[in-house]
Structure 1
Amino acid sequence: MAPVVLSSVDTFTQILKDLLRKARQVRSKGEIVQPLEKQHFGDRIDHVGEAAGTGLVPTLQAQYAAIETASRNILYDLIATTSIAASAFGQVWNLLDIITLISDADQCEAGLAFWLVEELLDTQTIDGCRIVFDYLESRRERMCANRLSKKDLIILRACNELLRRLSRAEDTVFCGRVFIYMFQSFPLGDKSSVNLRGEYHTENVTTFDEPIAMPEQAESGLMDVDSKMGNTDPEHIGSGQSANTTLENSNATSIEATQPEMLIKADDQPRKTENTEDDPNRFYAEFWSLQRNFAMPTRLFEDENFQELKRSMSSTIRKFQTVNQGLQGRNPSVAVDDTKRGAKRKREDHEQDLSDSFNPKYLTSRDLFDLEISDLAFRRHILVQALILVDFLLSLTPKAKKKLAGKANKSVLYAYVLSDEDTQWATQMRSDIATYLQQGPEGKFYYRMVDTVLSRDKNWTHWKAESCPKIQLPPVSAEDFIDARKGAQKACAAKRIKANPPGSLNLNFLSEGNGDGMKKLSDSERYSVPLVDSFKESIAEDSLDLEMATNDEEKQLLRDARASKIWRTLRIASKSKFKLFDKIEDGSDLGVLFEPEVDESQARMEGVDAGAPEDDPASIGSEQVVSSDSLLEIRP
């Protein structure tokens, strides 16, 4: 009977089933937390190809294809027969662990485990995908440790497909888990999410209601004007079309019935239409038109769009400030009701409102506009978008463009340069936004968080402009590590003092002649202070030799020797002849120091005797005057 020859797929299927039976003995409960290790299977993981037989798989690529087909068949059978909530579904986690071990041993494709996970995610509901993602998060470091370059595209495709299925409004936390998984799986310097070409998300279009005319309000306003002016002619009563023209042309100078400059309310208070935020219809359109600039900032390179942005931003910040002041001065009855609730309850409600204020898509209905404007979280979201746009504009100033000059990635470097006037406006607008964001509950903390994120984002912008150079250093080689360790040990080791270290003096003379060296050191001539006159001849000889010197080196040596002796002479003379130092100019003439000292009293007496003889009448008179003065001084 001829032997039955099994195909390679059937053979690998049987091998994988044997490994699954072994895994079920190790992990019977099928939990996700405990992963399977290589030692649980002995050496069977490393010899999967040998166990199938060399004749069935002629090439390594054929082995990879056979293992992939066998693993997919087993996965499909488990999914079809077992619910993900059942404990028996643990065999799926065991299969994924086994495939990971086999791929680490180079017995199958590196990304096979992620291919199976991608298939598994497509077959599950959102709740089932959460369980699958629990497995991915628990095995992230293990599955991404080896040969990530062959798995990164599969991870991106699987995660992006999952994000398309999720609702960012209802599955916000799950979306965050998916993003965090991708951020942790890829290295920091990976270019997968850098957007090197600087493309904008223009598909995210914000639609809102078109501005509509309000004929009733316009007509009532015009009637009030006419009643105040005393004009009741029907020809001067404006229609809805004329009121709409009034709202669009707020700079009209003539006061006519069809185009009045201001509308009079019922309480006789004038309301000028030149302030956009006072006109709900016009402010609504300008406010939501900001989203076009937020989604595509390069539109502002046209002067018309930039001027429109200035008007819209100024109107928005003024409106927000008005709303903030209005909330602070709200109805006292409401404030009384709030005081009855208690501080703890109010704080908890406020924290919950701010934490649950995420909106993946704004509701642009006109009926909800006033409610949205009154929401602090909504206003902060809008102003953060405006802050990002203003920072983009400030990056186009001449000073900022100099920092990015010469960068390699020209796709994110724009030729547009912001003018001085626009720069001043952007700087002032950023200051106004920063001031507003710091208001309200925890405003300073909120602004500090936003400012920190935007400051770090500037570093990413510079990195992108440089075409994203590698920021991850290669690992240190074993040779370099050994050399560095030896150098550190040598530097920290205790060093022995050498017998004759370099630069040291030879002290053998101290022991020569039965200790005569020490006696020589105790000679009084070595420690007694010399006299000033002892340097006189030596300084004179150095001066003479300096005049006779022939080369620069000899002159320099003589100058140094002469300067040393002059300094020592001055130091010794400072104790007894310090009063003569004002007669010495820069140490050039020390003759006054070497002259013998003369007693001043004796010199004064000798001068008196030589200048005035004894029989001189003038001298006698002066002596008598002096003595008479002395006598007068000592009288009481």
Structure 2
Amino acid sequence: MAASAYEERIRHATDGTIDALRRCSSAEEVANELLSLVAPDCQVNGAAPVKPLAPARLAFLTNVLTSVVGQIGNLAAEAGVLLMEYAIPSSANGQPAAPWLLDALLGLARSGAVHGGAPAALMEQVLEATPVNECAAPFGYLEAKLEAFRAPAVRQRASLTLQRACNTLLHRLSKSQDARLAGRVLLFLARLLPLMERSGVNLQGAFDVENATPVEEPEEGAEDSLGRPVDAAFYRSFWALQATFADPPSAVARWQEVRRGVRAALDRLREEPVALTEAAASSLHISAKYLSGPRLLSLQLRDATFRRHFLVQCLILFQFLRAPHPAKQAWPALKPRQLEDVQALEGAVTGRSRARPSTARALRPASRALREEEEWALWKQAGCPKEPFERPDAPPLAPLPAPLARPAKRRRPGPEAYYGVTLGTDELDRLWNLTEDNVSGLPAEDRGGFKTLGQLMEPVLDEMNDPDDSMGGGLSKSTTYSWRTLRAVSRVNLRAFVAAVQAGGDLQVAARVLYPSRCPPEPEPAGKPPLAPAEAKPGDGAGAADEAMAAQPAANLQSEDEAMEAPEPRASGDADSQAIEAPELRASGDADFLAVDAEGRANSSAQTSPLPTEPEQSESGELSSPGPGELRDTAGPDARRDEERLSEPEQPSGPASPSPDPSFDEPA
């Protein structure tokens, strides 16, 4: 059958449009080519007004666009790509053809050559030609061009067409598989249509009564999924409530049945334990229609998400029955006694939701939405007035009569505002400047507890092992830090505490007693030969006990409480085990040291704090001073005489005694 002349014109214009999409490098050029094919006397020339197309030419343009979309769809299917992503081979712009064509038609609508319904109709054709699983791409283009469709020249004729296209798309989408895309469609309509659009307010209050829930008849002796007998009466009454939820006005006629069903459901929810399923714990909620089989009801009542959906349905029904509505005049009204029942049931539902914090958090957005719905219903009953929502634009600002004054200077903080916080009153300034921050105002135990001895001595050990800080006199010479650390040392090792105090509070002296294995070798004083391996250090009166204490490792720094406890026995042959096996030697050495120190303090007016001592003159005439690692003699003359007397060897009264052990020197 030969084609008519009209069909030949459409085919010629279709081929020319596809060739223009391939050759042109901008949407404006495509629009001019399209107009030259449909109406040669109409050209888009910048901002110059364009005469609108006649109805016959507009119908011809619509047919051409339909043919072009069909051919692009066939080419995209052959290439195996989406319709909105197909680009014509060897095109000059490299852009997809369908969005390029829609942009050209939107430009014609803004110029006035075509009305705003033309690009909306083309968008509707694209959505209809796209499979459901690929509709996200063309709808994404629609969302991107929202402002163009909201322009006054386009929206007036495009709103109804786009609304029809979106409603058709919503009917095609699956409520469970495409819930996210359906939400995007609803949000697009809410942004496209103005708030006062009557097509979106549902003035008549129609309900979806066609959404019926099938209810099966349980067999006799049937068991549920948990192995319990199916409660047929409860099963029928529970799922019969869905018909009431879908058609709330019908609840007035059979209120007693509805009240008994809700009461029975709430009692059953109270008895059944809640199982937090994977769907309930997930933040992604899918709107799916539940199955209504008799064997599944026992499991569904334990599902937290299922229970929340039922409670929300009850709240929606109760709000509808309580709220006034003009359309209710045709329905039987609730009696005062029935209204009391509604309030009691609503209180039971909200009380049930507050019983579990997770349910209360989930129903909080639903309660807020119901309050907004009630205000929305009152606004519709008032005839949708514009005053509460639309306000006139603010008048333009008048020029200032005088230049702005310089900003006032901030009041400088007074002496009471030590940390620079000023709040306007002296008392508030004093309170906010007591400490630098809130953490500083807390007691030590609230800030994380006291530091252990190991934590306090760790910087001192690092300072001793760091050659750069060996002459710096850092924390080991700090008076404040030394005082805090020596308090902790006194609770753990009294000999280390006394040695550090006699050295002027030097923490390095205490560190050599506590952690000898972690300290560097002590430098020897000038002019003195090195000590023998078995020779004791001068001033160390504890003997073998001090050697055992010095040999005790302290690599793993203990806390104060752990250090005061008795150590556990270790393997024999180690220096640690030797120190533990001779506790009486260590105790006797500490007792002798303390006795000598106490006697010296009692007989001398010198203080226990370190005093400068005169340098001693050697036989060669040179002055000698204590080395950096030696302890100074801080006792008085009486104490030194006592030490000399004690250091003299005892004269034997009987037979000659053996010579003293050369491994021990006399006290200095």
TM-score by length of 2: 0.50
- Are 2:54 and 1:66 equivalent residues in the alignment? no
Contact 1:49–1:107, Cα closer than 8 Å, also in 2: no
Report Cα offsets for 1:512-556 as digits up to 9, x if no partner.
Answer: xxxxxxxxxxxxxxxxxxxxxxxxxxxxxxxxxxxxxxxxxxxxx
User: How far is 1:124 from its partner?
Assistant: 2.1
Of the two structures, which has the highest relative contact order with CA contacts closer than 8 Å and spacing of 6 or more?
1
The number of residues matched between the two structures is 377
Q: Which amino acid is the alignment partner of residue 283 of structure 1?
A: F
**Partner in structure 1 of residue 361 of structure 2:** 445
Query: Relative to structure 1, is the Cα distance of residues 69 and 87 closer, same or farther in structure 2, using a 3 angstrom cutoff?
Result: closer
**Partner in structure 1 of residue 516 of structure 2:** none
> Take 1:392 and 1:189, find their aligned partners in 2: how far apart are those partners?
23
Query: Relative to structure 1, is the Cα distance of residues 43 and 16 closer, same or farther in structure 2, using a 3 angstrom cutoff?
Result: closer
> Take 1:15 and 1:286, find their aligned partners in 2: how far apart are those partners?
66
Query: Relative to structure 1, is the Cα distance of residues 114 and 193 closer, same or farther in structure 2, using a 3 angstrom cutoff?
Result: same
% identity of equivalent residues: 25
Instruction: Name which of 489, 493, 502 aligns with 2:399.
Output: 489
**Partner in structure 1 of residue 71 of structure 2:** 77
> Take 1:314 and 1:213, find their aligned partners in 2: how far apart are those partners?
25
- Are 2:170 and 1:163 equivalent residues in the alignment? yes
Query: Relative to structure 1, is the Cα distance of residues 154 and 369 closer, same or farther in structure 2, using a 3 angstrom cutoff?
Result: same
**Partner in structure 2 of residue 295 of structure 1:** 246
User: How far is 1:286 from its partner?
Assistant: 0.6
- Are 2:317 and 1:389 equivalent residues in the alignment? yes
Q: Which amino acid is the alignment partner of residue 294 of structure 2?
A: R
Query: Relative to structure 1, is the Cα distance of residues 323 and 6 closer, same or farther in structure 2, using a 3 angstrom cutoff?
Result: closer
Q: Which amino acid is the alignment partner of residue 316 of structure 1?
A: A
Contact 1:45–1:102, Cα closer than 8 Å, also in 2: no
User: How far is 1:189 from its partner?
Assistant: 2.1
Q: Which amino acid is the alignment partner of residue 40 of structure 2?
A: A
**Partner in structure 1 of residue 98 of structure 2:** 92
Contact 1:196–1:411, Cα closer than 8 Å, also in 2: no
**Partner in structure 2 of residue 123 of structure 1:** 129
Contact 1:8–1:66, Cα closer than 8 Å, also in 2: no
**Partner in structure 2 of residue 545 of structure 1:** none
Report which stretch shifted further, 108-117 or 425-434: 108-117
**Partner in structure 1 of residue 144 of structure 2:** 138
Query: Relative to structure 1, is the Cα distance of residues 420 and 135 closer, same or farther in structure 2, using a 3 angstrom cutoff?
Result: same
Query: Relative to structure 1, is the Cα distance of residues 295 and 415 closer, same or farther in structure 2, using a 3 angstrom cutoff?
Result: closer
> Take 1:6 and 1:69, find their aligned partners in 2: how far apart are those partners?
10
Instruction: Name which of 149, 154, 178 aligns with 2:185.
Output: 178
**Partner in structure 2 of residue 317 of structure 1:** 266
SS of 2:59 mapped into structure 1: helix
> Take 1:187 and 1:292, find their aligned partners in 2: how far apart are those partners?
33
Q: Which amino acid is the alignment partner of residue 292 of structure 2?
A: T
**Partner in structure 2 of residue 200 of structure 1:** 207
**Partner in structure 2 of residue 376 of structure 1:** 304
> Take 1:50 and 1:68, find their aligned partners in 2: how far apart are those partners?
10
Q: 5 Å matches for 1:195-274? A: 195-214=202-221
**Partner in structure 2 of residue 20 of structure 1:** 21
> Take 1:354 and 1:414, find their aligned partners in 2: how far apart are those partners?
44
User: How far is 1:199 from its partner?
Assistant: 1.6
- Are 2:383 and 1:467 equivalent residues in the alignment? yes
- Are 2:1 and 1:52 equivalent residues in the alignment? no
Contact 1:99–1:112, Cα closer than 8 Å, also in 2: yes
User: How far is 1:308 from its partner?
Assistant: 0.4
Report Cα offsets for 1:86-133 as digits up to 9, x if no partner.
Answer: 541611110011011111111123211222222222222223212211
Report Cα offsets for 1:211-254 as digits up to 9, x if no partner.
Answer: 5544999xxxxxxxxxxxxxxxxxxxxxxxxxxxxxxxxxxxxx
**Partner in structure 2 of residue 358 of structure 1:** 286
User: How far is 1:416 from its partner?
Assistant: 3.8
Report Cα offsets for 1:356-409 as digits up to 9, x if no partner.
Answer: 5534322000111111111011011011000111111222xxxxx4xx7xxxxx
User: How far is 1:426 from its partner?
Assistant: 1.3
SS of 2:135 mapped into structure 1: helix
> Take 2:219 and 2:74, find their aligned partners in 1: how far apart are those partners?
57
> Take 1:494 and 1:284, find their aligned partners in 2: how far apart are those partners?
75
> Take 2:263 and 2:6, find their aligned partners in 1: how far apart are those partners?
81
Q: Over aligned residue pairs, what C-alpha RMSD do you find?
A: 3.9
User: How far is 1:16 from its partner?
Assistant: 4.2
SS of 1:163 mapped into structure 2: helix
Query: Relative to structure 1, is the Cα distance of residues 43 and 443 closer, same or farther in structure 2, using a 3 angstrom cutoff?
Result: closer
SS of 1:135 mapped into structure 2: helix
Q: Greater helix share, 1 or 2? A: 1
Q: 5 Å matches for 1:31-50? A: 41=29, 44=32
> Take 1:449 and 1:101, find their aligned partners in 2: how far apart are those partners?
42
Contact 1:110–1:150, Cα closer than 8 Å, also in 2: yes
Query: Relative to structure 1, is the Cα distance of residues 130 and 185 closer, same or farther in structure 2, using a 3 angstrom cutoff?
Result: same
Contact 1:64–1:107, Cα closer than 8 Å, also in 2: no
User: How far is 1:315 from its partner?
Assistant: 0.6
Instruction: Name which of 211, 226, 236 aligns with 1:285.
Output: 236
- Are 2:351 and 1:435 equivalent residues in the alignment? yes
Query: Relative to structure 1, is the Cα distance of residues 62 and 72 closer, same or farther in structure 2, using a 3 angstrom cutoff?
Result: same
Q: 5 Å matches for 1:411-430? A: 411=327, 413=329, 416-430=332-346
Q: Which amino acid is the alignment partner of residue 386 of structure 1?
A: C
Query: Relative to structure 1, is the Cα distance of residues 463 and 5 closer, same or farther in structure 2, using a 3 angstrom cutoff?
Result: closer
TM-score by length of 1: 0.53
> Take 1:209 and 1:121, find their aligned partners in 2: how far apart are those partners?
39
SS of 1:452 mapped into structure 2: helix
User: How far is 1:414 from its partner?
Assistant: 5.2
User: How far is 1:177 from its partner?
Assistant: 1.9
> Take 2:18 and 2:130, find their aligned partners in 1: how far apart are those partners?
23
Q: 5 Å matches for 1:475-624? A: 476=393, 484-485=395-396, 488-489=398-399
Contact 1:206–1:292, Cα closer than 8 Å, also in 2: yes
Q: Which amino acid is the alignment partner of residue 91 of structure 1?
A: A
Instruction: Name which of 77, 102, 107 aligns with 1:101.
Output: 107
> Take 1:458 and 1:17, find their aligned partners in 2: how far apart are those partners?
53
